[in-house]
Amino acid sequence: MQYHGVVEGVFLKRPNRFVALVELAGQEEPEIVHVKNTGRCGEILLPGARVFLEPSRNQTRKTRYSLIAAYKGSRLINIDSQAPNQVVAEAIQGGKFPELGRIGTCKREAQFGSSRFDFYFETPTARGFLEVKGVTLEQEGVVSFPDAPTLRGWKHLHELQEAVRQGYRGIVLFLVQLPGVSYFQPNGERDPEFARELLRASAAGVEVWAYDTVVTAETLCLGEKVAVRL
């Protein structure tokens, strides 16, 4: 996926989960920007971090920019929570998931039970649902999800198990919004219920995938498959 008109700034602070204060070159006062991720991102959004902003196309919005990426040391991490679905959609269209087989039908935002999954797909031999989770939490090359308790994430795993019982393929894809990591694992420390449910889901036939991404200030695209440790 492609961003447009990206500018660089320096992160100052995050008054709440929706906005941040960023120092921009040539401006005396800090810019109030929208943060495109309501997660904590506490290990990324630190005072002094280099960040990247995309101008809003909505002329009536109060904030002129959205914060989309930040450097954590020398590693650039995309933190746009809307980006993973777009990256996966482009990858499906480009045939970059050989595990899926030859896609005949693919629909976004598909209802099943009381959940809405990111993708519904059909191939000549199967039909199924795919749910995407963006991952930004990294420590010494190990990435994990979630960075805060998620009842919605638990519910998706529960519904994917039911889909598998009814004969569908059920897939949860953890899209790591940074490159070159060692492996993915559920974050049992911050959300033990989600970690346990992911293990149950895998045992019930839900496929657990993880892929990293190639990140620049202006782009985000699918990278390589990442090992999963449950």
Q: What is the pLDDT of residue 59?
A: 82
Claim to verify: residue 104 and residue 161 sit in the same structural domain: yes
- Let me know whether 127 and 206 are in one domain: yes
Q: Are residues 71 and 129 in the same domain?
A: no
Does 59 lie in the same domain as 117?
no
The pLDDT score that the predictor gives to residue 52 is 98
- For the cut 90, the answer to whether the pLDDT of residue 190 exceeds it is yes
pLDDT class of 223 with cuts at 50, 70, 90: very high
136, 31: one domain: no
Residues 46 and 93 in one domain: no
* Residue 106, domain member (yes or no): yes
**Residue pLDDT, tens place only, 19-47:** 999 999 999 999 999 999 988 899 999 99
- Domain membership flag for residue 172: yes
Nearest CA to 61 out of 19, 28, 22 is that of: 19
Domain of residue 159, residue span: 83-228
CB-based contact 161:167 (threshold 8 Å) = no
Same domain, yes or no: 74 and 98:
no
pLDDT of residue 68: 98
pLDDT of 86-144, one tens digit each?
A: 999 999 999 999 999 999 999 999 999 889 999 999 999 999 999 999 999 999 999 99
Cis peptide before 149 (omega within 30 of 0): no
Q: Does the residue 142 lie in any domain?
A: yes
Contacts of 28 (CB under 8 A, 6+ apart): none
Close Cβ partners of 58 (under 8 Å, ≥ 6 residues apart): none
* Structural domain includes residue 1: no
Q: Which amino acid is at 12?
A: L
pLDDT exceeds cutoff 90 at 60: no
Assess whether 122 and 13 both reside in one domain: no
Q: What is the model's pTM?
A: 0.96
Q: Token pair for residue 200?
A: 């149950």
Claim to verify: residue 124 and residue 212 sit in the same structural domain: yes
- Across the range 209-229, mean pLDDT stands at 98
What three-state secondary structure class fits 163? helix
The reply to whether 63 falls in a domain is yes
> What is the domain-level CATH number for residue 147?
3.40.1350.60
Give the length of the chain: 230
- Is 72 in the same domain as 93? no
The pLDDT score that the predictor gives to residue 135 is 98
Q: How many domains does the chain have?
A: 2
Task: Decide: 20 and 12 in contact? Cβ < 8 Å.
Answer: yes
- SS3 letters for 23-91? ECCCCCCCEEEEECCCCCCCCCCCCCCEEEEEECCCCCCCCCEEEEEEEECCEEEECCCCHHHHHHHHH
What whole-number distance in Å separates Cα of residue 10 and Cα of residue 49? 6
Residue after which a domain boundary falls, among 78, 97, 129: 78
User: Are residue 122 and residue 204 in the same domain, yes or no?
Assistant: yes
50 and 87 assigned to the same domain? no
Look-up of token digits 């649902």: 129
Mean pLDDT, residues 68-76 = 96
Q: Are strands 227-228 and 183-186 parallel, antiparallel or unpaired?
A: parallel
Count of C-beta atoms within a 10 Å radius of residue 187: 20
